[in-house]
A and B are shown apart, each in its own frame.
Chain A
Amino acid sequence: MIKKPIDIVKKNIVRFPRRTLLLLSSFMLTGFVLFSSIYMFQSVSNGAELIEGRAGADLIISSGKFNPYSLTGEKDTYFNGKELLEFLGKNERITAVAPQLYLETISTVCCGTEGNFPVVAIDPKNDFTLKPFQVLSEPLGDKEVVIGAKAGGDRFIFHAGDEQIEEKVLLFYETYTVKDSLFQTGSGIDDTIYMSLPEAENIISSPFYIKELPKNPLSAVFVQVDKGETDKAANEIEEKFPHLHLQFGNELKGNLQQFLQPMKILSFGVVILVLCMNILQVLTQFIGIVNERKQELGMLRVMGASKWQVAKLMLLEAWLAGAGGGALGIVLSFAVFYDQKDLILIVIELPLIFPVWQEAILYGAGTAVFLGLWAAGGAGLAIRSLLKSPPFYLVQEGESV
């Protein structure tokens, strides 16, 4: 038994199942494209944000100007890092320190991928620069390495987590097990092989390693500082270690924004195009629906329903179709992202950090509500001219159809 206008709307929706299905499908596709674009864009933004600040580093300390494009810690100049690390450890403004040591660029085969790969040592316990890009996030042990996406990571990712399959790589006459792979970042990280600092110390002390390095060598130190304390911390470091070079993490922002600009424009372009196509489709469908129901809607006006009460029925119907179809598309899109996460990361050669699920739900709900309102807007345009006509014309025209 109908009691509220929404009950009539539900009856209208099931009244024409094929048309409803078409309408839902149309909104499902729109929801899919819209949510995918938003989700992807947000993932790229998240990835970019991390890289912008050198994965969260406020300061980068090296013995010469650090190459911002490399983003690997690769630097063929070294300094004795012991005193610096002690100083940084005692400084209250500093919240995290991630030292890196570039060893060598080695020509080798990693996970069946041949190439020249820079080998960099990191402190697995304190490193914060790679964590957002790690596939498995497992601790790095002895004779284990982490590889960038282009250093064989594409292949590794297909059996990531499979204990039966182990990928090996030969470095400095030793065989290392690939423990983890990094997501594609679009930066120098992708080509790099990472090992732990203690492992690097073993290599340096071996007779095969011919490069002369200072004691406790480091090539770069990435530092996180309390909010608003960066300048003070930088001054203190410069004062104490005038021979070292300091670079602020946000200096890299401009370059990355420039790199992402075409993608942003393309993404917005696709969204606008899809929405334009959708609104035209909604208008076509609802003009048809409204014309077909002219007599029925006219009768409602004759029986004392106001313009708004009649319009409300159509708007609610459109809202349900838009939000319902959109929600289906969003769920589908999310499922594809969840299931094909690795494939997407490989195909799209950009740094991607997927939003956390709470954030994803928020985007999904927002997209569904937006599509509902979008559909209602389209229906509103379709019914607008109809409601301007006196009820008698509506009924007469409806009867003659």
Chain B
Amino acid sequence: MIECIGLSKIYRVTRTKRLFAVKSVDLVIKENTFLSLTGRSGSGKSTLIALITGMMPPTEGEVIVDGQKLSDLEERGLTKLRRGYFGCIRQYPALHPSLTVLENVILPLVVTSLFKKEKKCAAERYLSQVGLGNRMDHYPKQLSGGEVRRAAIARALIMEPEVLIADEPTASLDRESAVQVLRLLKALHMSGKTVVVASHDSLVENYATEQARMESGKLAYCGLTKYTSGQNRIKEAAESPVLEQLSIDSEQKSR
């Protein structure tokens, strides 16, 4: 569980001018939640996500992850948290252009010297799950925008995070690709992951179980979505081949 208490972030714009990017946000993200964090561009979504994941310190307030205050953690602790607890997906996933899709997925393992042979199989499995099983040997420039996002999701999954956090994962994608990415995230949520998606696109709300809306750095709304009662949408997500595969995986795991 992630708790944000009185979270604020002030950016220094000029010597005298300050900007409240996030202002006194109180938010609780329970386990196995699909939270959509929506709002217009500049409303503070990305900053809030960065604060939650320990990618930068807040000006005020506290983030508590599974009972652990982030402010108590030193650099090593924060690195460990980013490595094992959070899996981040960004609008520009910055795939390494000289590495194949498969190599890009295992990149975090290689850099952190955690790479083992069996991890390659895991990477291949994740790529198959995101529908890129036949594109493993391709280079990022040979992929479409949607495929790049899906590769980034596979890369985030390789570290086996408990929480997947995606910042604008559907931005600059066509409707069909955006839906594919969201379905994938939904499927991952259905398989037991906590998913947080920040987006200016209200389409995300259709897949989320909870939603929070940001306005000028403040949390304007926080609550359940219509989705939680809309069984037809769950059915829609459940029918996706990706979810079927994930369900099989999770069943195998539980056995």
Contacts and interface: CB of A to CB of B under 8 A. Distances in A.
A399 B55 CA distance: 15
Interface stretch (A184-192, A293-301, A371-379): A293-301
B154 to A, nearest CB: 12
A5 B113 CA distance: 7
A305 B96 contact: no
Contacts of A303: 82-83, 88, 107-108, 111, 155-156, 159
Contacts of A307: 75, 79
Contact of A306 (B76, B90, B92, B93): B76
B106 A301 contact: no
Contacts of B92: 295, 399
Contacts of A3: 110, 115
B203 to A, nearest CB: 22
Contact of B56 (A2, A12, A390, A398): A390
B231 interface: no
Contacts of A226: none
B111 A8 contact: yes
A310 B79 CA distance: 12
Nearest to A295: B94
B79 A8 contact: no
A299 B111 contact: no
Given A299-B90, A302-B88, A306-B76, A1 B111 contact: no
A370 B106 CA distance: 33
Given A303-B156, A304-B82, A306-B112, 6 more contacts: A5-B113, A15-B98, A301-B82, A309-B111, A313-B111, A392-B55
Interface string B104-127: 001110111101000010000000
Contacts of B159: 303-304
A2 B110 contact: yes
B97 A2 contact: no
A295 B90 CA distance: 11
Contacts, number: 100
Contacts of A296: 94, 96
B57 interface: yes
Nearest to B75: A307
A124 interface: no
A304 B96 contact: no
Given A1-B103, A303-B155, A8 B110 contact: yes
A4 interface: yes
B73 to A, nearest CB: 13
Among A5, A15, A299, A313: residue with most chain B CB under 10 A: A299
A313 B110 CA distance: 11
Contacts of B113: 4-5, 309
Interface residues of A, number: 34
B112 A11 contact: no
B42 interface: no
Contacts of A301: 79, 82
B99 to A, nearest CB: 6
Nearest to B158: A303
Contacts of A306: 75-76, 79, 112
A393 interface: yes
Contacts of B112: 304-306, 309
Contacts of A393: 56
B50 interface: yes
A234 B99 CA distance: 75
Interface string B64-95: 00000000000110011011100010111110
Given A1-B120, A305-B79, A299 B110 contact: no
B111 A5 contact: yes
A300 B82 contact: no
Contact of B99 (A2, A5, A396): A2
A305 B155 CA distance: 13
Contacts of A4: 110, 113, 115
Nearest to B47: A392
Contacts of B106: 2
Contacts of B90: 299, 302, 395, 399
Contacts of A399: 90-92
B63 to A, nearest CB: 13
A11 B96 CA distance: 10
Nearest to B108: A303
A299 B93 contact: yes
Of the candidates B46, B97, B108, the one having the most CB atoms from chain A within 10 angstroms of its own CB is: B108
A313 B55 CA distance: 21
Nearest to A396: B46
A390 B111 contact: no
B55 A305 contact: no
A2 B112 CA distance: 13
Contacts of B57: 390
Contact of A302 (B46, B82, B97, B110): B82
Nearest to A306: B79
Most buried by B among A3, A4, A5: A3
Interface string A80-115: 000000000000000000000000000000000000
